[in-house]
Amino acid sequence: MRILSGIQPSGEPHLGNYFGAMRQHVELMAKGEAIYFLADYHSMTSIRDAGERRRYTRELALDYLALGLDPERAILYRQSDLPEVCELAWILTTVTPMGLLERAHSFKDKVAQGLAVNHGLFAYPVLMAADILIYNADIVPVGQDQKQHLEMTRDIAGAFNHAYGREVFKLPDPMILEHVAVVPGTDGRKMSKSYGNTIRMFAPQGEIKKAVMGIVTDSTPVDQPKDVSASLFQLWALFATESERAALFARAKAGGLGYGEVKKDLLARITAHFAPLRERRAQWEQRGHDVEDVLRDGARRAREIARPVLEAARDAAGLGAAKAGA
Ligand code: ADP
Ligand code: TRP
């Protein structure tokens, strides 16, 4: 089973990215041949600063390694080290109906927000389809927000196979990571870097403390019952066992539990949870070259899988010289 997923290096990962995607990617490594990439081409639709892109890309690689991604088992690579994917994206754009892209929620949302949209943002799902199809991936673990993109990938694969009368591409199965609810941010909305309500997992301790202490709560007095659906409790529960959760939630509902106590405990839990990962991250950071070596080796292994698929697509479409005997 081949598992593939990518994350854009467009900011420093937060608890939402950790619980919603990255931790699960690392766990899935045990289930098959896992390929994860740092989607720097995708980040071009929103970031225009070369230095920033390089920094975020490197940081994201360090984050994955810190979380325990084992480069001997899984492939970790930087998307732009395989420009072949852009060729496949072009090939796929020519079989992608405009109407399909016009229906994309993420594009429509950006237009509705009044952002200055570019063609890259419009064509984003085609590049994403190329990322997936170039490996004939079986399973693509992503959050709920990416579900439509995966449906489009299946449509695009089918359109190519149909247009050229060959089953070049496998239709991948989405694996929607639904068992993790949306992680709330410090202000109660979904945690997202675009809302500035994040807790960054590898931020300096002082910043984490400030974010945790700043989690928005209401003015219910200590002795009164608390609403456990509030962000503070939901965030806390991510770091607790089932029985700890039941016990604390019972105390909250009964009254007598103050928000301050929960915040302090949450901070202690976040600190303890990430301490060993920070340690591992620092070790990788000290061995600066090793990270590049991991990415280079990842790209080499990824290319071995991708190249024949791209060749099959080129051949089916009549690109390049005909194969001998054809
Ligand atoms: P952001 O919303 O901060 O821009 P991204 O869109 O880059 O985050 O998300 C990267 C991955 O992390 C996606 O797979 C997404 O589903 C997951 N993710 C992001 N925020 C959350 C959240 N608050 N809860 C659960 N998963 C999340
Ligand atoms: N679009 C995904 C996101 O924003 C990132 C991504 C790009 C991806 N290409 C992919 C995810 C291929 C899975 C497979 O989170």
The C-alpha atoms of residue 221 and residue 256 are separated, in whole angstroms, by 8
Helix (H) or strand (E) holding 172: none
CA of 201 to the centre of ligand 1 (A): 13
Q: What DSSP assignment string belongs to 89-118? A: HHHHHTTS-HHHHHT-HHHHHHHHTT----
* Second-level CATH architecture of 202-283: Orthogonal Bundle (1.10)
pLDDT at 179: 63
- Cβ–Cβ under 8 Å, residues 134 and 66: no
Q: DSSP alpha helices (H): ranges in the chain?
A: 15-17, 23-28, 40-43, 50-66, 84-93, 98-102, 105-112, 119-133, 147-164, 205-213, 231-237, 242-254, 259-286, 288-317
Contact 247, 309 (CB under 8 A): no
Among positive and negative, which fits the CA dihedral 75, 77, 79, 83?
A: negative
CA 66–ligand 1 middle distance (angstroms): 18
DSSP 173-223: EEEE--SSPPPB-TTSSB--GGGT---BTTS-HHHHHHHHHT-------TT
Which is nearest to 70 in space by CA: 305, 297, 274, 288?
297
Q: Which ligand is nearest to the CA of 141?
A: 2
Sign of the C-alpha dihedral, residues 23, 29, 30, 32?
positive
**Coil, helix or strand at residue 78:** strand
Q: Are 232 and 259 in contact (CB under 8 A)?
A: yes
- pLDDT, one tens digit for every residue, the chain (326 residues): 999 999 999 999 999 999 989 999 999 999 999 999 999 999 999 899 999 999 999 999 999 999 999 999 999 999 999 999 999 999 999 999 999 999 999 999 999 999 889 999 999 999 999 999 999 999 898 887 888 999 999 999 999 999 999 999 988 877 777 666 789 999 999 999 889 999 999 999 999 999 999 999 999 999 999 999 999 999 999 999 999 999 999 999 999 999 999 999 999 999 999 999 999 999 999 998 899 999 999 999 999 999 999 999 999 999 999 887 65
Q: How far is CA 144 from the centre of its chain?
A: 11
For residues 37 and 30, what is the distance between their CA atoms, to the nearest angstrom?
17
The CATH code that applies to domain 2-182+289-317 is 3.40.50.620
The one-letter amino acid code at 223 reads: D
Its sign, for the CA torsion 88, 91, 94, 96, is: negative
Please report the pLDDT score of residue 142 as a whole number: 86
Calculate how far, in angstroms, residue 7's C-alpha sits from the geometric centre of ligand 2.
6
233/227 Cα distance (integer angstroms) = 8
Nearest ligand to the C-alpha of residue 186? Answer: 1
Catalytic site residue 110?
A: yes
Phi then psi dihedrals of residue 114, to 5 deg: 80, 20
Cβ of 146 below 6 Å from ligand 2: yes
- Contact (Cβ atoms closer than 8 angstroms) between residue 6 and residue 42: yes
190, 226, 263, 323: the catalytic one is 190
Using the mean position of ligand 2's atoms as its centre, give its distance from the Cα of residue 193 in Å: 16
From 110, 131, 151, 173, mutation site for ligand 2 pocket: most ligand atoms within 8 A of C-beta: 131
CATH 1.10.240.10 intervals, the chain: 202-283
Distance CA 36, CA 139 (A): 12
Could you tell me the two tokens for 34?
A: 């896992």
- Residue 323: count other Cβ atoms within 10 Å of its Cβ: 8
Residue 6 Cα, ligand 1 centroid: separation in angstroms? 12
Q: Is 193 among the residues known to form the active site?
A: yes
pLDDT of residue 325: 63
What 3-state class would DSSP assign to 36?
A: strand
Q: Is 25 in the pocket of ligand 2 (CB under 6 A)?
A: no
Per-residue pLDDT, 32: 94
For ligand 1, atom 10: residue with the closest CA: 17
* Dist CA 122 CA 128 (whole Å): 12
For the purposes of burial, counting CB atoms within 10 Å of the CB of 12, is it exposed (0-12), middle (13-18) or buried (19 or more)? middle
142, 152, 156: residue to mutate for ligand 2 pocket, most atoms within 8 A of CB: 142
Within the chain, which residue ranges are assigned CATH 3.40.50.620?
A: 2-182+289-317
Q: Is 190 a catalytic residue?
A: yes
